[in-house]
Chains A and B, each alone.
Chain A
Amino acid sequence: MIPGREYFWSIDHPELFYLFALAALVSFGRGVWLKIRPWLAAPRGLRPLEPARTAVILLRDGLLGARIFKTGPGSGLLHLLLLWGFLGLFLGTVLISADHYLFRFLFGPTYLLFSWSMEVLGLMLLAGVVWALARRYLAGEARLERDRAGLLVPAWLGLAGLSGFLVEGGRLAGLSPPGGGWSFAGGLVARLWASPEAAQGAYPFLWWGHALISLGLIAGLPFTRLFHALAAPVSLALQGQFLDRALDRALERAQGPAEGDEEERAGEAGGLDLLELVHLEACTRCGRCQEVCPAALAGEPLSPRTFLQALKAEREGLPEGGWCCTTCRACLQVCPVAAAPLGLVRTVRSRIVEEGASVPPRLMEGLERLYKYDNPWLAKKGGKTAWTRGLPFPVPDRPLEEEGEWLFFVGCTTGLETRAQGLARALALILHDRGVPFSTLGKREPCCGDVARQVGEVGLWEVQREQTLDLLEKGGLGNLVCSSPHCLDSFRKVYPGTLGGRDLKAVHYSQLLARLVDQGRLEFKEGLDLKLTFHDPCYLARHNRIVEEPRRVLRAIPGVELREMADSGLKTLCCGGGGGRMWHEPEGQASPGLAQRRLAQAAEAGAEAVVTACPLCLIMLEDARKTGGFEERLKVVDLAELAARALGLDIEEDKEGGG
């Protein structure tokens, strides 16, 4: 007899199976519809997908789960076992149906190969389930939740797998089909029954049991955490979409009165758009985000996972810790399904800010100053040239004249905050000394609006952006060099790429200095005998992948020993100044705070000085140096200041004594 499958052996009323199957499909369909209906109603605003690239992403991040491997081989492998086991067995069922209803092909050697594959897949699934349960509930990895609800899906999968083997065992015991030896696992199970008759007697129960469990799995899938299996591929396919969704919508609204339909649609989805809703459903609660969130690590009441899940449950209000987020982007980088809690934080903040009632008071003051005085720091206009006082040359503030001239966009913090002004002075001195032509916008320099963007004051952001674009157009385009990675990020991500027919390009000053080093124009004659470490600003490293350039500059200084902290480069540990936090203290703000933890890392790395390249980092670390008792152990210095000193330039000793 040729090896093959006998269908519905010993099963009476097979038509009942079709009935159940139909019911399962209906339930599945309804469940999926309920989940995706708000997606369809939500505003979109998505950039078009490239089919080839999307296919690669789905293969790499979906089927192979490449992102899951980022945090270690264990979970990656585990997920593969589960995913492939499940998909494989499902595929097997499909093939069996095709064989039964369409044309027979599963016989002979094909069938034997098929049987063997099903064994392997079934074992994979079971192994995955056992490993998953052990890992979560016994070994107790910190980021994994040990709630009872989490048992549901693995247990169900496990039952489906086990019942499958039982059915097979029963069938093998009852029929002893040819080639049965290829179903090695089933063969072991077959020994449960003493005789073929006993097996045949048990068989219908086993079969219906397995059928119901499996159909139940399908019926219930959209209502369980397993729905991520459908949502995650969508989320992965949409990775790389614009994250400042509230800004996009603000620009649209600014263009004209909102369509009644648009507002309604926004209302139904609770103010979130399609991408954000997909993220809510794709989240698997794995907790990798909270493992890397600097606020969570410092003990603040923010967990990106909890934030996202709270939003999923209740679309109103700002979940706990919403103002603690520094927008460092660590969460997005580690998420296996490419969900972005960071994006959700910004969007929900914009809603809260629009309503007005739960905005932290100090932040309100900062925003009001920004609106009235064009900067969030001082209730005074035109103060952004104070840093030029005492420089041995006049800092130009005229429109750019030559090709290759740089427009130094000083920024609000660098221009106005006492400590940060050192950065501007040092950079100006270097550029002047090295003969690099540059100009500034002088007293008229507006705020690029980044702080408004981070905290969700989208209306104010839009006003600032317009003012800045206006002044840039008049004051000179060409190349912008920014002191702050925050300004840089704004110019690169939320400003247009061209203005008045010319390119709007922005670089960070560390990139400019690196370029000068490469060109041999920055030779540090004076060495510094210093062990130092570089604190990568989040907005430089994580948001814009600028990691090497500052280090190139540092390594070019003789006598400098560059050490790396435990979290450096793309994995940098946030200082806590971003996300608007420089201008307010979130509730539950930790002490010691984020910046102090960073200095502790610097001390551990054996550094004498921490070098940074961002005015906010500079202030946060400098403050932490005092409040954390690091005054004797560490100095905090800006990259430009260090470079200027190594060039032998006389930069005025700043009053804070940070040098």
Chain B
Amino acid sequence: MKILVLVKNVPEAAEADLEVDSKSGTLETGDLVYSINEWDNYALEEAVRLKESRGGEVTVLTLGDEEAEDVLRRGLAMGADRAVHLLDEAFEGSDPRTVAKAVARAVQGQGFDLILAGVQSSDLAQAQTGVLLAQELDLPFATLAVGLEIREGRAEVTRELEANTLERVELPLPALVTIQSGINQPRYVSIMGIRKVRRMTVDLRDCRALGLTEEEVGPGCSFVQERRLLQPPAGQGATMLEGSLPEACRTLAGIIKDRGGL
């Protein structure tokens, strides 16, 4: 089985203090640590497990800056066989549609049986690139997979719906599936593991190699005219409990008893 996994290098935001440059409306990335997008990590693990149980080859691919190579190396250490890096300054600021176009150019005609991507990335959470790629490549697709089984040329995908409900759908291969978090327990990637694959080469492709001009990529060809980040608008906001911790907790307990009907 030939499997392709799309991965993205994103900043770790969960516990970081995020600062926005108010003039440009962009994120201050100086202090941020970058790592593989959590959803893509699940997708990678799923791909490697499929390869381990059924044989085949896994290719890991990213479109990103030079630092993004770390994510590819991690993929190789996890068990991927090949790595492809779409690297070009012109790509910066590209929207999902453009990214999908570029990736499609890179993988067209390579005979992948299965393409896996994360449902979304933890930075902008657009959840578009995977499905857009399926449209570019004219492939059947399914999103939000919490279960994936391959049987004789078919993919059986268990999708996560709302309200604690799941649905099972079947797709003929080749197909594209976006992977939801929690589908598996990704393995650990050790430093030794990364060192072991340091001799493997990463396949670099720039715009030209993909047959794209600079005008066809980047923010210029996006439907998005303007984009800025802000601190979220203040809602009514919570009434914050003050005082020392024991005092505040006493107040808190009082609220619970009162409102909870205890």
Interface residues of A (CB under 8 A from B): 250, 253, 353-357, 359, 361, 363-364, 367-368, 371-373, 378-381, 457-460, 462-463, 655
Residue numbers in B under 8 Å from A250 (CB-CB): 192
A381, B32: Cα distance in complex, Å: 9
Chain B contributes a number of interface residues (CB within 8 A of A) equal to 19
Quick one: CB contact mask for B182-200 with A, threshold 8 Å, 1 for yes?
A: 0001011111111100000
Nearest A residue (CB) for B199: A257
**Contact partners of B33 in chain A: CB under 8 A:** 372-373, 379, 381
A residues near B194, Cβ cutoff 8 Å: 459
B262 interface contact, C-beta 8 A: no
Question: Secondary structure at chain B's binding surface: helix, strand, loop or mixed?
Answer: loop
Which residues of chain B from 184 to 236 have any CB-CB distance to chain A below 8 Å in the complex? 185, 187-195
Pick from B12, B193, B245: contact of A354, CB under 8 Å = B193
Chain B's closest residue to A456 (CB) is B190
Q: Are A378 and B15 in contact (CB under 8 A)?
A: yes
* CA of A379 to CA of B11, assembled, Å: 12
B258 at the interface (CB under 8 A from A): no
Chain A's nearest CB lies how many Å from the CB of B87? Answer: 23
Q: 22 A-B contacts, Cβ less than 8 Å apart?
A: A250-B192, A253-B192, A353-B188, A353-B190, A354-B192, A356-B78, A356-B189, A356-B190, A363-B188, A364-B188, A367-B188, A368-B35, A372-B12, A372-B35, A373-B33, A379-B16, A380-B16, A381-B33, A457-B190, A457-B191, A459-B190, A459-B191
Q: How far is the CA of A371 from the CA of B12 in the complex (A)?
A: 13
Query: Given A372-B35, A378-B15, A379-B14, 13 other A-B contacts at CB below 8 A?
Result: A253-B192, A355-B187, A356-B78, A357-B187, A367-B188, A368-B35, A379-B33, A381-B33, A457-B191, A458-B192, A459-B190, A459-B192, A460-B191
The distance from the CB of A465 to the nearest CB of chain B, in whole angstroms, is 12
Please tell me if B31 contacts chain A, counting CB pairs below 8 Å.
yes
Specify which chain A residues have a CB less than 8 angstroms from the CB of B195 in the assembled complex: 253, 459
Q: Are A379 and B192 in contact (CB under 8 A)?
A: no
A379 and B35 contact, CB distance less than 8 A: no
Choose among A363, A372, A463, A655 the residue that contacts B191 (Cβ–Cβ < 8 A): A463
Whether the pair B190, A655 counts as a contact (CB closer than 8 A) is no
- Please list the residues of chain B having a beta carbon within 8 angstroms of any beta carbon in chain A: 12, 14-16, 31, 33, 35, 78, 185, 187-195, 245
Task: Point out the residues of chain B lying under 8 angstroms from A463, CB to CB.
Answer: 191
Q: A372-B33, A381-B31 are in contact. Are A354 and B190 (CB under 8 A)?
A: yes
Enumerate chain B residues within 8 angstroms of A460, measured Cβ to Cβ.
190-191
- Min Cβ gap A355→B in Å is 8
Beta-carbon nearest neighbor of A458 in chain B: B192
Question: Taking CB as reference atom, which chain B residue is nearest A461?
Answer: B191
A353–B192 CA distance with the chains assembled, in angstroms = 9
Residues of A within 8 A of B16 (CB): 379-380
A308 to B12, CA, bound (A): 41
- With beta carbons under 8 angstroms apart, the residue of B15, B193, B245 that contacts A380 is B15
Cβ B15 vs Cβ A379 within 8 A: yes
Q: Given the known A-B contacts A373-B33, A378-B15, A380-B15, are A462 and B191 also in contact in the complex, defined by CB atoms under 8 Å?
A: yes
- Distance between Cα atoms of A363 and B187 in the complex (Å): 11
Closest to B244 in A: A655
Kindly provide the distance from the CB of B233 to the nearest chain A CB, expressed in whole angstroms: 26
Q: Which residues from chain A contact B188 at a C-beta distance below 8 Å?
A: 353, 356-357, 359, 363-364, 367
Closest residue on chain A to residue B191 by CB atoms:
A459
**Docked pose: A462 CA to B195 CA in angstroms:** 12
- Selected from B31, B185, B245, the residue in CB contact (under 8 A) with A655 is B245
